[in-house]
Chain A
Amino acid sequence: MPEHERHDAAEGLYEAAHLSELLANDPRTSAPELRVTIGGRVVTVTGTVTTQERREAVDAVIHDADPDLEIRNDVTVIDLSGPPSTEVVR
């Protein structure tokens, strides 16, 4: 791998890790459980939250950190209105 590509890949890994830290500590998200990956200038976030507001906060936190990143927000909002699951435990 050419040196500049290796450097770009390393920068992407470090930035993904720093964004994970931000999503944990920014009070708009407070979500250390979300997963962040970066390919090129595209950041993808996966995981679950309980409100649409918290999902949208993911975009805001990342945009504030690096406005040049393209954000793929694949975070899903859990539906709390459904019936419970049931199981007989033995």
Chain B
Amino acid sequence: MIRVAAVGDLHAGADAAAQLHDAFARVADDADVLLLAGDLTRTGEPEQAQVLADALDGADLPVVAVLGNHDHHADRPDEVRQVLAGAGIRVLEGDATTLDVHGAAVGIAGVKGFGGGFEGASTSEFGEPETKAYIRHTKDRAEALERSLATLEANVRIALLHYSPIRATLEGEHPEIYPWLGSYLLAEASDRGGANLVVHGHAHGGRERGRTPAGVAVRNVALPVLGRPYAVYTLEESIEAAHLPSRFALRDTAEASA
């Protein structure tokens, strides 16, 4: 059994220091790993990231994070990453990490992700340069996610995102803003990369549970959705992945050449 604690949209700032410290006081008793699904700060200031780093100081478990849109607002994401890394928090963006949990290899691939909408109602890389750049960024991040997942040698693979990969966990938000909340490309990357679980935040008005088109569990762990400091998901090593063929198939290639 692998216990995964997860939460996003903590929006840390000096005024929330005490609450955040209390929120994570027992997390190492509850879980084997803590995932942070972006929007870790209010406006992306390194001082705000330090508040979260201090709150997690002494938490005796691995902490893995991605940044969110709020963490980019001050145009200082590298400094935010440095502050978090200084506290031992592994911040992913287009890469992955593998943890040993009770002898099981737990692989976590992370990207912020981006928007564009969902199958049947998505924006294309067409028209003005601004529109093309928007969708190109989403495609780039989705490809990075799939590649990262595909390279993982792990018993369980988790995709850690900020933006949503599916509509279902957005229900409750205004449908008009779905294209700013996520993209189907992130679901496709998760399904093709062999994810067993997808975790995201960003959609405060959405709901917690959904599945990718290929059936993989998706959990929206935005703090307002959970209404609790974090959720703890217990996974068995035998949890199903989608088994859709990867466009990159790096893992299959590696296994074939072994």
Contacts and interface: CB of A to CB of B under 8 A. Distances in A.
A79 B11 CA distance: 14
A30 B239 contact: no
A83 B239 contact: no
Nearest to B30: A84
Contact of A83 (B10, B197, B217, B228): B228
A80 B22 contact: yes
A74 interface: no
A87 interface: yes
B85 interface: no
Interface string B209-222: 00000000101000
A30 B70 contact: yes
Contact of B204 (A47, A54, A87): A47
B152 interface: no
B19 A84 contact: no
How many chain B residues sit at the interface, stated as a range, is 35 or more
Contacts of A83: 228
Interface in B11-57: 11, 13, 15-16, 19-20, 22-23, 27, 30, 42-43
Contacts of B233: 86-89
A90 B233 CA distance: 10
A79 B27 CA distance: 16
A86 B234 contact: yes
B62 interface: no
Interface in A46-88: 47-51, 53-54, 78-88
A40 interface: no
A48 B224 contact: yes
A84 B232 contact: yes
B87 to A, nearest CB: 19
A85 B226 contact: yes
Nearest to A90: B239
A20 to B, nearest CB: 11
Per CB-CB distance, the 10 closest pairs between chain A and chain B, nearest first, are A48-B224, A80-B23, A33-B204, A80-B19, A85-B231, A88-B234, A53-B15, A89-B233, A86-B232, A51-B15
Interface of B: 5, 10-11, 13, 15-16, 19-20, 22-23, 27, 30, 42-43, 70, 73, 197, 204-205, 217, 219, 223-224, 226-236, 239-240
